[in-house]
Amino acid sequence: MNEAERLAGYLKGRDAPCPGCGYNLRDLIGETCPECAETLSVVKIIYNAPRASVASMIVGYLGLAAGSGVLVALWPRVMTLDVRPWGRPTWDDLRLLAIIGATLGMVVVIIKWNDWSEEMTRRSARFRWSWAAACFLTVPLVWLVGRLVGRW
């Protein structure tokens, strides 16, 4: 009996989670998970629980927290801008709009990351870690906004 037959026999009528994403493999025919394309074997399914997505979520939150920290450090400098409520816009008015836009963008990213927390448990490890690393891109982006504001 080859591995594919052994795996199909093991999964026939049995609920078993995929070790990569937690997808229910009941009655699966084949050697790959249809959800995350993980290569499967009976040994992997029996001895490997689904990989936790907690670590990638924490890394993503740390990246967002670092970007938020840089943004918060920028706000006291912004408060010294000479913004005029009427008249022709000045560079300070545009700088204020840039920092408000960056702040709103950061809030949207954090909200979206929270929305994805449920979905992340069903995604592959590569997807989760890619997005967690992308959260760290908020730090240089916010720093760049600080440079554009001209107060750093």
pLDDT (tens digit, 9 = 90+) per residue, 89-114? 666 777 777 778 888 888 888 888 88
The pLDDT assigned to 22 comes to 77
Spans of all domains in the chain: 1-50, 54-149
Contact 3, 43 (CB under 8 A): no
Q: Decide which of 117 and 101 is more confident.
A: 101
The pLDDT assigned to 51 comes to 52
pLDDT (tens digit, 9 = 90+) per residue, 34-87? 888 888 888 888 777 545 567 888 888 888 888 888 888 877 776 776 666 666
